[in-house]
């Protein structure tokens, strides 16, 4: 392979480029990204950056000089509009064509739009990119009443930052609890309480039917049960959809994500895909409702898939098998999740001192661990999830049982 082109200059695309050079790839390496900025981290956008505790420079994955030093041709502000698989070339938004020997798709996801009338009013916003975060920082400064639609990670992190500033924040959620798809009822309950103590109001089981405007700006959020909540800023955080159209139009297999095999290859061996945009086979998903293939939205997954693919392309192929893990900072609380839980998995709480963890079991085997201000439990969990040693629910519940000793 002489020429590798990466589409998408986010967490996964950047990692693949950096790891390819680290592994000794000496051919040409092009990283095409539609955003204007150098590759940056998204997690702080809803945390420290939103709160004004770090600046845009602090988000960068590397400074500008890194790209020249490592001969990574970063083409920012450029969108890939089509893949010609027969020619092995790409069409770019600036009219250029770019040839590849191997193509890596790392196109990520985009936010799901709220499918109601008024969703296009001024003051209705989403959070995915640095541009979104900049717009929100100034919108918050002029807002008094904020409504968040969706009690997922981003909605709750945003709510926590706004509540800490003393703003009025109401979170509307269609499900009956916060982070319902991702965590146990016990963890949901704890976070609902944390947020309520910080001044956030929740409406559960509530669907948004209309966003009402005044002179083109959002003024209120109307719910299915007839309530009308005044709002001058609405953040919509109702999940994402994978950017898979480029792959689909090129005839690659897609199904809520670009389908890849255990080695992260698509249905065309000259094209691989990594990060938020892929659906891949995972032993951690065995027994989950969607079968044993998953699409994961996390920094861990983007970084580890970037590394795994770079190793294959430089002659060290290995199936992708990393333990999934994730974190979310909500106000002063840190939630860390290791593994993948299915909604029906049993919950075993473990409490000792500050914080707590909830151990999830599926068919009597540990499936995931949710830790709140318990980093040691989280680190032990990451090891236990791949260890041949079995943790029993009784051991998990016993605060005196030495998790670390079992894990090592």
Residue ranges binding ligand FAD (CB under 6 A)? 7-13, 32-35, 42-43, 45-46, 79-80, 106-108, 127-128, 154, 243, 246, 275-277, 297-300, 302, 326-328
Specify the residue for token string 């947020």: 195
Chain Cα centroid distance, residue 2: 32
Q: Report, in Å, the least distance between residue 80 CB and ligand FAD.
A: 4
Q: By C-beta, is 308 or 396 nearer to ligand FAD?
A: 308
Question: Are 206 and 224 contacting, i.e. CB atoms less than 8 angstroms apart?
Answer: yes
* Residue number, 143 or 298, with CB nearest to ligand FAD: 298
Is the CB of residue 369 less than 8 Å from the CB of residue 360?
Answer: yes
> Could you tell me the smallest distance in angstroms from the CB atom of residue 357 to ligand FAD?
18
Residue 390 CB, shortest distance to ligand FAD, in Å, is 27
CB nearer to ligand FAD: give 238 or 396: 238
CA of residue 112 relative to chain centroid, distance: 13
- H/E stretch holding 155: helix 153-164
Closest CB to ligand FAD: residue number: 10
SS3 95: coil
- Separation of alpha carbons 95 and 103, rounded Å: 19
Comparing C-alpha atoms, which of 87, 390, 362, 380 is closest to residue 250?
87
DSSP strand pairing (28-32 vs 72-75) = parallel
**Least Å distance between CB 362 and ligand FAD?**
22
* Terminal-to-terminal C-alpha distance of the chain: 40
Contact status, residue 20 vs residue 101, Cβ threshold 8 Å: no
Nearer to ligand FAD, 13 or 123 (CB): 13
Minimal distance, residue 20 CB to ligand FAD, in Å: 15
Q: What is the dihedral of CA 142, 191, 341, 295, to 10 degrees?
A: 0
Q: What is the CA radius of gyration of the chain?
A: 22
35 vs 261, beta carbon nearer ligand FAD: 35
Nearer to ligand FAD, 194 or 327 (CB): 327
Q: Which of 120, 116, 101 is CA-nearest to residue 150?
A: 116
Nearer to ligand FAD, 261 or 297 (CB): 297
Least gap, CB of 8 to ligand FAD (angstroms): 3
Question: Cβ 351 to ligand FAD, closest distance in Å?
Answer: 24
């Amino acid at each position: 392979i002489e020429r590798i082109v990466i589409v998408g200059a986010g967490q996964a695309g950047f990692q693949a480029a950096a790891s390819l050079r680290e592994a000794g790839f000496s051919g040409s390496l092009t990283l095409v990204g539609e955003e204007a900025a150098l590759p940056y981290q998204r997690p702080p956008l809803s945390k420290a950056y939103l709160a004004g505790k770090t600046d845009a420079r602090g988000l960068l994955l590397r400074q500008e000089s890194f790209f020249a030093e490592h001969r990574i041709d970063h083409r920012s502000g450029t969108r890939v509009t089509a893949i010609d698989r027969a020619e092995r070339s790409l069409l770019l938004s600036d009219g250029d064509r770019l040839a590849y020997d191997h193509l890596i798709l790392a196109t990520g996801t985009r936010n799901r739009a709220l499918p109601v009338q008024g969703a296009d009013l001024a003051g209705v916003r989403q959070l995915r990119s640095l541009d979104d975060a900049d717009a929100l920082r100034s919108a918050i400064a002029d807002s008094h009443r904020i409504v968040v639609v969706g009690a997922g990670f981003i909605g709750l992190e945003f709510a926590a930052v706004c509540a800490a500033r003393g703003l009025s924040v109401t979170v509307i959620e269609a499900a009956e609890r916060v982070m319902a798809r991702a965590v146990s009822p016990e963890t949901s309950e704890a976070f609902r309480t944390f947020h309520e103590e910080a001044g956030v109001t929740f409406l559960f089981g509530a669907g948004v039917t209309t966003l009402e405007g005044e002179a083109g700006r959002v003024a209120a959020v109307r719910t299915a049960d007839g309530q009308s909540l005044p709002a001058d800023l609405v953040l919509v955080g109702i999940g994402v959809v994978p950017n898979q159209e480029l792959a689909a139009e090129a005839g690659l297999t897609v199904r809520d994500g670009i389908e890849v095999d255990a080695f992260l290859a698509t249905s065309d061996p000259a094209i691989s895909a990594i990060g938020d945009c892929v659906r891949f086979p995972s032993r951690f998903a065995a027994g989950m409702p969607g079968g044993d293939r998953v699409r994961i939205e996390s920094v861990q997954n983007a970084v580890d898939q970037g590394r795994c693919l770079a190793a294959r392309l430089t002659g060290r192929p290995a199936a992708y098998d990393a333990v999934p893990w994730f974190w979310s900072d909500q106000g002063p609380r840190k939630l860390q999740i290791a593994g993948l839980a299915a909604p029906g998995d049993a919950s075993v709480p473990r409490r000792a001192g500050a914080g707590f963890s909830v151990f999830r079991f599926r068919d009597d085997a540990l499936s995931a661990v949710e830790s709140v201000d318990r980093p040691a439990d989280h680190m032990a969990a990451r090891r236990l999830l791949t260890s041949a040693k079995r943790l029993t629910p009784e051991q998990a519940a016993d605060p005196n049982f030495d998790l670390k000793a079992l894990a090592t």
